[in-house]
Structure 1
């Protein structure tokens, strides 16, 4: 699969980094785009700068380049996951405000009927956040909140990260066994 990973300025950049590692290890082609605030959070939370992320992915796009390949429906991409996804980005996608490459690429996923997954990382949420997420869910966007489960008895932060990334992979149609599933 060819998958776009979008990273915004919400807390939780570790999720995106782990997803990229998992996708690459499984042999998928990964394209990435990061907002300006996404770069700040990647550096603050994970110590990751452009060069390090560029080395992990197949293509790293400049978020200001709205003429990049992923901005066009004619560029074949199987899916896009935005994680973490800020409420600003949720609002931009919900209202088709394609003011940067990340939101344009998400808009393309919607118009082409391709798989789009958002991992909002905000709490608490107010009614406008919820309305925007509902609008996107009604359009077929998969909303996977960054809300860890505990039924798999996590012992480390990696266990929690792997569970969420596993849930994103489930929405991508990939069975990668990143966490213990509930068996009753």
Structure 2
């Protein structure tokens, strides 16, 4: 087993799960699904949610994506689970990742899965997500390059979705770098 597998087994609440990544063509319903998810999060968290943003490929018009709505929420301290986690669990979310400064939960809005990433307000990870999203929205060439890379990785089985994300990492880092975003901490 690799070092990365060991890291994932420590962070993933339910352990690694094999997956075949399938991409869907862009769907104009994705922004409305995010709006519905954000409204539910605002109702569940109130002022504890300092910021709620649509991230990931479904946040980029014209980009093929896994049909999963990715959301980032800024909290005071995601490690202080007692201040928010029970409300998210009551709203149907399931804790999937527990690592210092980050929690990832899985929920749904309608038939679409939602990945909810919780970071501290001001986290460089939030900035990185937004710089990447905005760069893809504004630059057709970057969006096309990223989509081509994703299509090259799709259709095969991965030991876990995080390994697929790792495989996209070099292209993501290049795009964030060209946009002037912060390096990975």
Q: How does the TM-score come out when normalised to structure 1?
A: 0.28
The higher-RCO structure (CA 8 Å, 6+ apart) is: 2
Give the structure with the higher percent strand: 2
